[in-house]
Structure 1
Amino acid sequence: MTAIQVITVPFDAGVEGERMGAGPDALIAAGLLGRLGLCHDVDAVRVVPADRWRAELRTTFTLHHDVAQHVRRALVAERAPLVLSGDCNMTVAAVAGLGTGRRTGVIWIDAHGDFNTPDTDPDGYLDGQGLSMLTGRCWTAHTRSLTGFTPILDHRVLLVAARDLDDEESLALDGSDIGTLSAQECQNPVTRGTALARLIADVDRVHVHFDADALDPEIAPANSYAASGGLQPDEVIALISELSALRPVVSATIASWDPSFDREARLGRALTEVIEAIALVINHS
């Protein structure tokens, strides 16, 4: 029985419990912990900054420090960290919490590239910059302050199902060494296998980042940023299962579900299936 530490971070752009920040609590309220507890030893913590003043940068950066600390505590307790977040950029904190002792790879499954920087982002949206932060392209004064954080090298990242990119973001990705795998390519076992082989060639362990809008919005929109196309739950589950047979999956971030766009919770149920599948393969070691 795997011991799992669920770390809920109910914030979206520094605001608690609104939009995608409502997703983590909604998953818990729908019985996620009970379902995980059928097969795992589950503990849970809800992360809220001590400072009551809320601002996007200040609050998000404070949460990064707090979440990284909770990930470190989970590992000391021999629990695999599973972060439920409104914001995608909490993966920066999760990876910092893993520390630098081993070569970490990241599979980033998302409808968006999250590869903007403050200089290229047309909307000035911090959560559109998470992968850039993770790979050391922006907000470096902040990431240097995160205990255990080292930028992830491009070739240790695989971006999956991205299909809604800004122009400069797309150019930046093309000029990087980040691997990519489209939703359509996921259906081809040869292409999928080649992409995974490239990802794991220079890593000892993998963090899974899963944005709810990677799923096909025909199930139901995950949030206001949902883009046409996308993956079915069984495709995601097969991808994660195949990856886990190649390298240990040691932690995960699940992000960006806005339940107000999913009144019948169809996407929420599909997301729960994905989370349960990740929990089956995750291992802190």
Structure 2
Amino acid sequence: MKVAVVADSTTYLPEHILQAHDIYTIPLNVIIGDDIYKENEIDYTWYYDKMKELDELPTTSQPSIGDYILLLESLYREGYTDVLSLHLSAEISGTHQSAQAAAASVDGINVHVVDSGIAAAPLGFMAMYAAQNLKTKSIEEIIADLDLMKSKENMNAYFLVDTLTNLQKGGRLSNAQAMIGGLLKIKPILEFHDGKIVAIEKIRTQKKALQKIEALLQSEFEQHDQKSLTVCIIHANAKEFGEQIKKEFEEKFQDITFVLQEFGPVVGTHVGEGAIGIGYTNYPVDITGL
């Protein structure tokens, strides 16, 4: 048995990490006017600048089934018998469905499609965990681990966005109606619940919102051996802000490993420029070089 790990582009793992762990990428798409761009081929800075110029938000779409089939056929020719295919939450994207459809169209290779129920860094942690355990665990054991890993007890993420406007327009916020009335005046805190993005707090200032997130994390971190935790601060074209939060958290939680990442175009379109995400896992992931 030869197993390949495939993850969609919303892991936002850098190319050298993908190569080091033999993780294959299937990109989502961003559509600006009549032009379609594969997410992993877009310069992030260019994209955020472009988004500011537009009167309407770009749209995003899952990978085409054809692109996925081409990837699976390529892996089959390379001798792979099985594929572990990990994707952002099926509640917010059709990527999982596209992967399933492509898997049914290619003979000779077994494709195990995993719905992460989340996106961005936590999805990347899952892909890295799978890739790092291929030599010591069976594919069935890894799938079972991933099912436990994605539970809220072992992985979680919070997001702080400037406004809910992008998420509301893109239809990615499940309780948007409950938040209307102060869309442009609050600093909402978001969380994944059952694969859906839900606004859990309405707070008036960014400082207070970050304090609330810190309190939520403090409560969750106390339930774990902090030395086992890996936490990613994710920013949307706000590197200095992300670095500031990372430094502050490192000073407060000295036993935890923190890394910094950037939201790429697909997630960045929906959370908006300036958004911050904080995702973590207590599963052992080697993040050397990340």
Whether TM exceeds 0.5 here: the answer is no
TM-score for both structures, normalised by structure 2: 0.36
Q: Based on CA coordinates, which of the two structures has the bigger radius of gyration? A: 2
TM-score for both structures, normalised by structure 1: 0.37
Richer in strand (by share): 2
